[in-house]
Structure 1
Amino acid sequence: MGADTMLGEVDEPAFTGVAERHRRELHVHCYRMLGSFEDAEDTVQETFLRAWRRRETFEGRSTFRAWLYRIATNACLDLLAKRRPEPATGGEVRWLQPYPDRLLDELPAGDADAPETAAVARETIELAYLVAVQHLAPRSRAVLILRDVLGWPAKDVAELLGDSVNSVNSALQRARAGMREHLPAERQDWTGGEEDAGTRELVRRFTDASVATDIPALAAMLRDDVRFSMPPTPGLHLGRDAVLSNWAEEGFEGMTGLRAVPTSANRQPAVAFYLWNAGEQAYLPLTLDVLRVTGGAIAEITTFHSDRFARFGLPERLVAGGAA
C-alpha cells in the first residue's frame, strides 16, 4: 500500500493491515468514551467496518490515524445514543470494566504528528477518571476527551461534531466543571501516580490481610473517606464504616480458602483472588480488586467479577503449589 491518499485503490487485507496498527489506541479511546472494555471492542470493530466502507472518502487532509479517530468517536456516540442515553449518576458506573495494564503496554509511543499527544497519560485511564467521564453527557464527553486527552484543536472537534468552535469551547468548559464535581478537589487525591515502594508494601499487606480475612488489619489501611463498589452490582459505599459494614453483611470475615495473585489495571495496583473449591480440588477465580492508593492509605477499592480474569492473562485455577 502506498500513501494514505490511495485508500480507494487497496484491497481489504492491505487496508486491514494498516488499520490494525491503530487498534490498541483506538480501543483505549473508545474505552474512555464508554467505560466498558467489551463495548470498546465492539466499537473498534464497527470503526474498522465503517472505515473500509468509506475508504474512498479519505482525502488525506488529516492523517489516517486522525480519520480513524473521527470514525471511532462517532461510533461511540451512536452506541451511547442507542444503549445509554443518560449519563451515570451518583458516582456509580455499573457498566464499568477494568483495563489490563499488559494491554495498555501495547500503546505506541506518541510522535510529533499524532493527534493524541497526551493519549497515554496515566491519569486519564485510571478508574476515578473513567467514572467521572461517564457522568458527562455523550457529546460533552467527546469534547473533553478529544480536546484534553488527545489534544485536538477546537476547530477539528467542531468539524467532527458538526458544531461551531464557540459551542465546542463552551462544551469543554462545562465538561471540565462536571469533572471537578466528580473528582476530589486535589489531583493527588484521585490519581495514584507512579507506584513506589510504599505503595507496593501497602498492597502486599492488603493482600495478606484479605487472604486471612483480617478485618481489623484491613480497616487500618483504609482512608476515612474510602470508596467501595462492585460493578455491575449496584451500590456505592462511602466511608470506612460503610465499607466495613458491607463486608460484614456479605460474610467476608471468617471466609477461608483464599489465595491471591498480584496484577495491575488502569495503571493501578490490583489483586486477583481465588477461592478453594473442594469439588474441583483447586482454587477458582473469585474477584479482582483494583486499588487506588493515596497518602499511604487505600482510597478506593473497585471489585470486579471473575469473568475479567481471562483478559488479564490470569490462571484459570490455582492448585497447591501454584497455577494449574
Structure 2
Amino acid sequence: MSAETRLEERDVSGPGEVDEPAFTGLAERHRRELHVHCYRMLGSFEDAEDTVQETFLRAWRRRETFAGRSTFRAWLYRIATNACLDLLAKRRPEPATGGEVRWLQPYPDRLLDELPAGDADEPEAVAVARETIELAYLVAVQHLAPRPRAVLILRDVLGWPAKDVAELLGDSVNSVNSALQRARAGLREHLPAERQDWTGGEEDTGTRELVRRFTDASVATDIPRLAAMLRDDVRCSMPPTPGLYVGRDAVVQDWMESGFAGMTGLRAVPTSVNRQPAVAFYHWREAEGAYLPLTIDVLRITGGAIAEIVTFHHDQFPRLGLPARLPADGTP
C-alpha cells in the first residue's frame, strides 16, 4: 500500500504518523496541475504561484480534515479553489470588463509539458485541456464572477460531478447547475461563436509558414505585409498596458502611432506559450553591444490568418526560458 493510499484511508482524526516531509512529497506530485488550475482561475502566473504555496500551507495546517472521502488530489483541488476565491475577493472584487485582462500573463509551454499526459483514448479531454489553456479562453473566463468561474472550470475542464462542486462551494446541486449555465452563457459572450474560431488547434505547415512570414515582416516593420496577414476582426492587446484594438484598421493605426512603423534593429526568436505560436522580439542596443528583450507576440491563428495578437513585455522573458540577450549576429 502506497503512502498516498495510506494517507487517504485515514479517518477524520488526521494523517497520524505522516510527517511534514512525507506530506510535502505527496502534495508536490500535484504542484503543476494545481498551478495550472489556479492559473485558469486567476489569469496570472504569479498569482497562481502564490496561491499554490498558500494551498500547500493550508493543506498541512488542516491535514486532520482529510477524511478519505475523496482522493488526496481532489482534496488539494478543493483547498486550491477556495484559496483562489479568497484571493479574488481580496484583490479583484470585480471580474474583467471590456474584453481585456490587464493582469494576464503567459504560461510557458515547457512547464505545461510537466502535466500528466492525456489519455489517448479520450481525445476530447486532451483537446479541452489544450484549448482551456489558450489565451482566448483565459481572457473570457476572467470576465466571469469568481464563483461561476470556479463552477465552470471544475465542471467543464476538470469534469467534477455537480454534487462534488456543490459540496466544495457549500451550495446546492441546483445552484451549481444554474451557475454553470450562466457561466457557459457568459463565456460564449467573450469567445467567437464557433469553437474552431477560438483555438488554433495543432500547429500545421500552413500555421508555421504564416508565423514565419509574420516574423519576417515584423523584423522589417513592413506594415502592409503584416496587415495582409490579419483577419478583418483581429484583436490586439498588450497587458498590463490598457487598450484593446479590434479590427485591422484599428490595429494598423495603433502600430503607426506607436512608433513601430520604421523601427530598425529588430531580431526575433520563435517560441510557443499557452500552446500557441509566439515570437519573441529583441532590439539592438549599441551601448550593450547586443540585442536585448523587447516584447513577445502570442498569436491566435484561424482560417489561415491572424485572429489575435497578445503582446507581453520583456519582463516575461526569463519565465518563458528565453535568452537574456542575443549577440551582434542575432543568433540565440
> In which range does the TM-score fall when normalised by the shorter chain?
over 0.9
SS in 1 for 2:279: strand
Q: Which residue of 1 aligns with 2:268?
A: 260
- Tell me the distance in 1 between the aligned counterparts of 2:329 and 2:289: 13
2:195 aligns with 187
User: 1:4 corresponds to which letter in structure 2?
Assistant: L
**Corresponding residue for residue 217 of structure 1:** 225
Q: Give the structure 2 partner of residue 36 of structure 1.
A: 44
Per-residue CA deviations over 1:227-266 (Å, capped at 9, x if unaligned) read: 0000000000000000000011111011000000011011
In 2, the alpha carbon distance for the partners of 1:120 and 1:281 equals 45
Alpha-carbon distance change, 69 to 118 in structure 1, aligned in 2, over 3 angstroms: farther
Amino acid at match of 1:261: V
Q: Deviations over 1:88-138 (max 9, x none)?
A: 111010000011111101101257xxxxx6696111011000000000000
SS in 1 for 2:310: strand
Q: Percent identity?
A: 87
**What's the counterpart of residue 168 of structure 2?**
160
Q: Which residue of 2 aligns with 1:298?
A: 306
The reply on whether 1:81 has 2:84 as its aligned counterpart is: no
| Amino acid corresponding to residue 148 of structure 2 in structure 1 | S
Question: SS where residue 322 of structure 2 aligns?
Answer: coil
Residue 252 of structure 2 corresponds to which residue in structure 1? 244
Which residues of 2 match residues 1-324 of structure 1 at below 5 A? 1=3, 3-5=6-8, 6=10, 7-110=15-118, 121-322=129-330
What amino acid does structure 1 have at the position aligned with 2:105?
Answer: Q
Q: What is the rounded CA distance, in whole Å, between the counterparts of 2:128 and 2:7 in structure 1? A: 24
Aligned-partner Cα distance in 1 for 2:17–2:97: 47
Assess if the C-alpha contact under 8 Å between 1:94 and 1:232 holds in 2. yes
Contact 2:289 2:328 survives alignment (8 Å): no
Structure 1 residue 14: Cα displacement: 1.1
**What is the deviation of 1:71?**
0.2
Unaligned runs of 5+ in 2: 120-124
CA distance in 2, matches of 1:259, 1:110: 36
Say if 1:119 and 1:85 are closer, same or farther in 2 by CA, change over 3 A: farther
- Secondary structure of the residue aligned to 1:67 is helix
Counterpart of 2:226, as a letter, is: L
Unpaired segments of 5 or more residues in structure 1?
112-116
What is the rounded CA distance, in whole Å, between the counterparts of 1:57 and 1:218 in structure 2?
57
- Check conservation: 1:293, 1:299, Cα contact below 8 A: yes
Partners of 1:64 and 1:57 in 2: how far apart?
11
Return the letter of the residue paired with 2:7: D
TM-superposed deviation, 1:322? 4.9
State the AA in 1 paired with 2:69: R
Please report how far the alpha carbon of residue 11 of structure 1 lies from its aligned counterpart in structure 2 after TM superposition: 1.3
How far apart are the structure 2 equivalents of 1:38 and 1:132? 19
1:8 CA drift (Å) = 3.6
Cα separation, 1, equivalents of 2:27 and 2:241: 36
Aligned residues between the structures: 320
Counterpart Cα distance in 2 of 1:55 and 1:264: 38
- The equivalent of 1:114 in structure 2 is none
What residue number does 2:122 align with?
none
Instruction: Quickly say closer, same or farther: Cα 1:110–1:206, change in 2 above 3 A.
Output: closer
